[in-house]
Amino acid sequence: MSGIEDYSEKVKELQDSIESLDSEYEEFDEEVRRLSVQMNELRTRLELAKEKKNTAYFSKIQASTDLDNAKRGLAKARMEEREKMQKEPDVTNPPLERILSVVSSWDTWKKLRDYQQADLIFTWDRFLRPEVTGQWGVFNANDTSLGKTAETAMTILGLRVLFPDAKLLWLTKSALIKSSARQCREWGLNIIPLTGTSDTKISMMQFMGETMAEVGMAESYITNYEALNTPLMSEIIKRDWLVIAVDEMHRLRGGANASGPTKMWLGLKKILHDTDSLRVVAIPEGRSRKVWTPDHEVINREGRPFPIFMSGSLINNGSEEVWAYTHLFNPVQFPSRAHFKRTFMAAYSIGISIELIMKVIAANFFRKTKREIGMQIHDPIPAEHLIELEKGSDLYNFQKQVVEDFMIKLDSMGDEMVSIAGILAELHYARLSLVAQDFNVSVPIKDSMGYVQKDMHGKVLKKKVQKHLEPPLSKLEYCIEHVFDLAMYEGQNVLIFSAQFNSPIEYLLRRFRDMGLKCDAITGDKRLTTREIGEIEEDFKNNNLNVLIINMKAGAEGLNLHKDARWSGGSSHVVLLDRWYNPQINQQAIDRAWRVGCLEPVTVHTYTVDNSVDEIIDGICADKVLEAEGLTEHAALRASDWRAKIKSWLEAKK
């Protein structure tokens, strides 16, 4: 019985447990059903939330895109409006209307070409409305012979319609002072040349300043850049100049010097901004106020001189020169060479032109080429004369030895950096030997035993000795024969340019005169000629000279030597006896004859001696890597890279 009771008790317990579990099950089943309903509701809400989230996300993207498009549209609209304002001067502006109403009756205004009149209106508008671009001054980069001098002279005369007492200081190279003053007078601008010693210039400025003030005339002076580094500077900064005009601006590029700015460049900055500090955080306020107030309308609140920079060659030696120009416009916007190179010059290295860069960073920059304005002018005709060296001649052996020694030296230097200045120094005598018969060379000093002597630092001691080359002198003799044929048998006047050497000019002068040709030279060396450059220029234009030989450093700028209907002489044949490593310099020389108004196509004769340093100079001129670095004497490559380049240049001619 005990077993039945036990099982009965156990059954009862289990039944009770089952009932309890049934109740618990029902309770949890109810909870599951309830939670399932909630979960379904949450799933629905979750899906709805996800859908709304996605909708919001894509709406946000669309809104961001619309915002970016709106910002770009706004920026574009502002840019278009600004470009419109920049491109279209406000000729309804009362002061500009006043200028145009007066100058339009002048004969000189009627002589201007259409593009020159447009340039003048542009410049006057920039003077009268500097707020349009936020820049003060203009950069006239029109191509050579397009009349920058005439435009600047007329700009001053137009401004004097509003400001009769406006003072002008015109800076140029010494050789161009008198010729530029003459051109200004032809356009009605009476300008006083300041030449001679500093004391003479100071006395002239003081005397003329007092005299012109008494008669109510505005002061206008033209002098050389070097005046900014002389006692005359103290007299210059006393005056409130309305306009500072700088001709051949690329020559005043001293701010781009790696060794630091020149005193002339700092002097110009002092005149323009009343400070010569390179740490400029704000442009000092001008000392004077030029105000024209018809009906009490003030149109010019700028108190600093208005700079007009002129240069047909934007880069004479290197891209960093552009900073030297733009810093003088706005030293706050373009504070340092490093900032400028990092910000803008990267574009130049990948092939963007300096003209485009200038248009981006300098709104008051304008440039027209002979082609753009549709002038009828023939392209220069290239005529390359390849001169073969006679094997075994003194010149052949000298060239070969110099180039071979230099290649060995570059090989030993490995990855050491070598500048263009270093290359030119090593090849100096080889270049000189092509255009001179007698010259000095540096040779190592040897002791009685034949050993090379060195100083305490291990540097080889050298001395200069006379080097004489026996004929044939290939390039000089070829030049004499070729130019004599052009002048004597074809009746042509000829321009001959030497890159930097005066010794071949002296030799050619003597030989041509012995042959009965009328010739002269522009060299900057009074030992060769004491005549003024202007006199020589007039003789050549008036057909009193058959041959004119010019050192590029002395006469590659500012001279009109082309054949023109206004005179009987001039030339359509340019001979480059030797070339400079920068093609801009060579082009400036060519532009003395290739100008607007030239009556005949210009033939450019280049003399290239094979297997010589001529081929290396040609290679440097054409090398795009060096051009991107900036063709300055400081541009440098590894010695191994130089060796590879020079080898390829020499082999390319074979």
End-to-end CA distance of the chain: 131
- CB-based contact 155:364 (threshold 8 Å): no
Which among 239, 119, 235, 249 is positioned nearest to 171, based on CA atoms? Answer: 249
Range of lowest pLDDT (216-225, 270-279, 626-635):
626-635
631 — pLDDT class (breaks 50, 70, 90): very low
Each residue of 132-149: pLDDT tens digit?
A: 777 788 888 887 777 889
Query: pLDDT above 90 covers what percent of the chain?
Result: 18
- CB-based contact 316:173 (threshold 8 Å): no
Helices (H), 134-244: 148-162, 177-186, 198-215, 232-236
Which among 473, 483, 484, 508 is positioned nearest to 612, based on CA atoms? Answer: 473
Q: What's at 432, amino acid-wise?
A: L
Written as six digits, the tokens of 314 are 């934007």
- Tell me the HSE value of 507 on the side-chain side, using a 13 A CA sphere: 20
Q: Is the pLDDT of residue 84 over 60?
A: no
- CB-based contact 180:254 (threshold 8 Å): no
pLDDT (0 to 100) of residue 302 = 57
pTM for this entry: 0.68
Q: Is the pLDDT of residue 244 over 50?
A: yes
- The whole-number average pLDDT for the span 415-424 is 80
Q: Is the pLDDT of residue 331 over 50?
A: yes
Range of lowest pLDDT (122-136, 460-474, 526-540):
460-474
- CB-based contact 487:517 (threshold 8 Å): yes
- The whole-number average pLDDT for the span 281-297 is 56
Burial class (CB in 10 A: 0-12, 13-18, 19+), 38: exposed
Each residue of 89-120: pLDDT tens digit?
A: 777 788 888 999 999 999 999 998 888 898 99
- CB-based contact 156:229 (threshold 8 Å): no
- The whole-number average pLDDT for the span 590-605 is 84
Each residue of 483-494: pLDDT tens digit?
A: 999 998 888 999
